[in-house]
A and B are shown apart, each in its own frame.
Chain A
Amino acid sequence: MLGPLLRRLLPLPLILLAASVVAFALPRLVGGDVTRAVLRARVASDAPDPAVTARVAAELGLDGPVAGQYLRWLGAVLRGDLGIGYVARTPVADQLGSALGVSGLLTGAALALAALVGIPAGVLAARRPGGPLDRALSAAGIAGIAVPEFVLAPWLVLVFAVGAGLFPAIGWGGPEHLVLPVLTLAAYPAALAAQLVRAETIDVLGRDHVRLARAKGLPERRVLWRHAARLALTSVTSLSGMFVAGLLGGAVVVETVFGIPGVGRLLLDAVLARDLPVLQAGTLVLVAVAVVAGMVAEVAQLALDPVAHDREADR
């Protein structure tokens, strides 16, 4: 178990280093004088004093050669200091931390719901491929993928918030604020998980150990859920790793529509306001989350799937 884990851990620092270069360099390609832009936002003067400009540049870490700026920024990041946001003028670490908490809750709830709905749906559909249940679920799956968040969210608001008055249309705080955003976010992963589980379960149902289980006279329900579905779960595990980072930072639409202070919203605002420290830190954190989540998912998949585990040991 330690071997494959180590092999996956090794390239991690390299990827993160590359990500830090990208995160640092990209916002700097913006062009224009960032110091001036920040100054203009603060003092509303077109021709600020050069001495003031120099001081602000130093404060923002924008003085000296770019390589030096990068090393200083990287050093600070490694010490946990992500800088001060230009706009809010509070530590980026705090802004990002609270946004990550919000997005994490949203992501966790959405993934849990998607798994709760998608996995059983996939297994049930696999029981009789081409049957009425399978066809109904597959139509629902197409809808789950084809209806984007920016369409689903407004209509959910219109029906459940404005029309029925069941849930608040906007805001963040209580559990009632979670319902509509989580529904919106869960649709796509649930549909994908159902399709994947269906395909895998159909595949597994044809394998020898399932035939053996049936020959032993086990009830069909037990064969389906214990013997077949369990193997199919391994592929969903690897899929979930892909979704974590995607939902964590990619829920911009949902966060915008429902007014949720999550990571996506924070990044979108940072882009609109050209808030470099927030953008840099956010990009870096999202890449880190994506890499780590992918790795965890892969290791979990290895642990779940004995065949893949053996294959790995042979390598």
Chain B
Amino acid sequence: MRRLAGGAGILLLLVVVLPMLLPDPVATDFAAILRPPSAAHPSGTDQLGRDVAARLLVGARLTLGLSAVTVLVTGVVGTAVGLASGYAGGPVGRAVLRLTDLLAALPTVLFGLLAAVVLGPGTVALLIAVTLVGWTPFARQAHQLTVRELGQGYVEGAGALGAARARVLGGHVLRNIARPLVAHACVRFAGTLLTVSGLSFLGLGIQPPSPEWGAMVAEGREFLFAAPHVVLAPSVAVVLVAALALLAGRALGDSVAGRRSPGPRPVVVSRFRRRRQNEGGN
């Protein structure tokens, strides 16, 4: 956890402080186009003579900021839906699960395409598309975790002590399923990041000249042979951040491959369970 916080701090430093020291990310310089890395331009310049390093770091704010906001929103919404449907169970719960299955099976790009046709390609369409898809894995995970927790003694105990339904769900169950959900959020951050930059790569998301990472790859692709450094910088950035997020998720205990992964047993519960198992004699 502390290492995670340290990593986030370094990232923040990179994203907020460093851009102040670097050249303007949209300033063009036609005297120096497609230059390889040098002292003045640590990652070289692109086809319009813009500093790649500066664009990369300013783009980080866009790409990572959008992904973080999306994960936060979809995480809250999905968890609320999953808690409710897991608690409701029966036909309602099954219907919610079916819906999440269906939405998860559809290509994310389809949502991006439809949002782009309704709203016009841009940041708003992008956000709506990733939000529409993004809540479903959280809902599914929260649903399954909730169903599992509802069988636990502490839920029964809280109910017997007269705790209101909302309190049992929001206070007790949520607290016990929070850790796997946070781990899942890390994994989803990687997925969202890849979707955001992928849609921007296709021209359906953040529009040039904004230095979004996917859009940077798309712009630099034409000069891949002559000046691979233009594509290399955003490629490495995307892969590195996604891999770090996946590793963070794994460290927190998400098994990544979503569907039937139960996640780690919450610490608070295991004590109850052990005692019950001992009493049951098996």
> How many positions in chain B have a CB within 8 Å of any CB in the partner chain?
44
Task: Scan A271-306; emit 1 where CB is below 8 A from any B CB, else 0.
Answer: 100100001000100110011011000000000000
State the CA gap A148–B194 with chains docked (Å).
6
Is B83 interfacial (CB-CB < 8 Å)? no
- Asked if B202 contacts A250 (CB within 8 A), the reply is no
Is A69 interfacial (CB-CB < 8 Å)? no
Set A150, A155, A245, A290: member contacting B218, Cβ < 8 A: A150
Task: Scan B159-173; emit 1 where CB is below 8 A from any A CB, else 0.
Answer: 000000000000000
Is A15 interfacial (CB-CB < 8 Å)? yes
Set A11, A196, A274, A290: member contacting B105, Cβ < 8 A: A290
State the CA gap A293–B109 with chains docked (Å).
18
- Asked if B102 contacts A155 (CB within 8 A), the reply is no
Is A48 interfacial (CB-CB < 8 Å)? no
- Asked if B221 contacts A154 (CB within 8 A), the reply is yes
Is B69 interfacial (CB-CB < 8 Å)? no
Set A30, A148, A241, A249: member contacting B118, Cβ < 8 A: A30
Is B276 interfacial (CB-CB < 8 Å)? no
In the complex with contacts A142-B246, A154-B217, A239-B259 CB distance below 8 A: yes
Most-contacted residue by chain B among A235, A250, A283 (CB, 10 A): A250
Task: Scan A148-162; emit 1 where CB is below 8 A from any B CB, else 0.
Answer: 111100110110001
Is A253 interfacial (CB-CB < 8 Å)? yes
- Asked if A286 contacts B102 (CB within 8 A), the reply is no
Q: Which of A177-223 contact B (CB under 8 A)?
A: 192, 195-196, 199-200
Is B274 interfacial (CB-CB < 8 Å)? no
Chain A residues within an 8 Å CB radius of B114: 26-27, 271, 279, 283
Write the chain A residue with the least CB distance to B243: A146
- Asked if B224 contacts A253 (CB within 8 A), the reply is no
Is B68 interfacial (CB-CB < 8 Å)? no
Secondary structure at the A interface, as helix, strand, loop or mixed, is helix
- Asked if B257 contacts A199 (CB within 8 A), the reply is yes
- Asked if B243 contacts A246 (CB within 8 A), the reply is no
Closest Cβ of chain A: how far from B110's Cβ, in Å? Answer: 6
State the CA gap A22–B204 with chains docked (Å).
20
Task: Scan B185-224; emit 1 where CB is below 8 A from any A CB, else 0.
Answer: 0000010001001100110100000000010011001001
Task: Scan A239-271; emit 1 where CB is below 8 A from any B CB, else 0.
Answer: 101100111111011001100000010011001
- Asked if B108 contacts A274 (CB within 8 A), the reply is no
In the complex with contacts A11-B98, A195-B257, A151-B225 CB distance below 8 A: no
Is B47 interfacial (CB-CB < 8 Å)? no
Query: Can you list 23 A-B contacts with CB-CB less than 8 angstroms, sorted by A residue number?
Result: A27-B114, A142-B250, A148-B198, A148-B238, A150-B202, A154-B217, A154-B221, A162-B225, A235-B259, A242-B104, A249-B110, A250-B109, A250-B110, A253-B198, A257-B221, A274-B117, A279-B117, A283-B110, A287-B102, A290-B106, A291-B102, A291-B105, A294-B105
Q: Supply 20 further A-B pairs (C-beta < 8 A) apart from A148-B238, A158-B224, A249-B106.
A: A30-B117, A145-B256, A146-B242, A148-B239, A150-B197, A151-B235, A151-B238, A154-B224, A155-B235, A158-B225, A235-B260, A241-B105, A245-B105, A246-B108, A252-B109, A256-B202, A257-B221, A267-B109, A283-B110, A286-B107
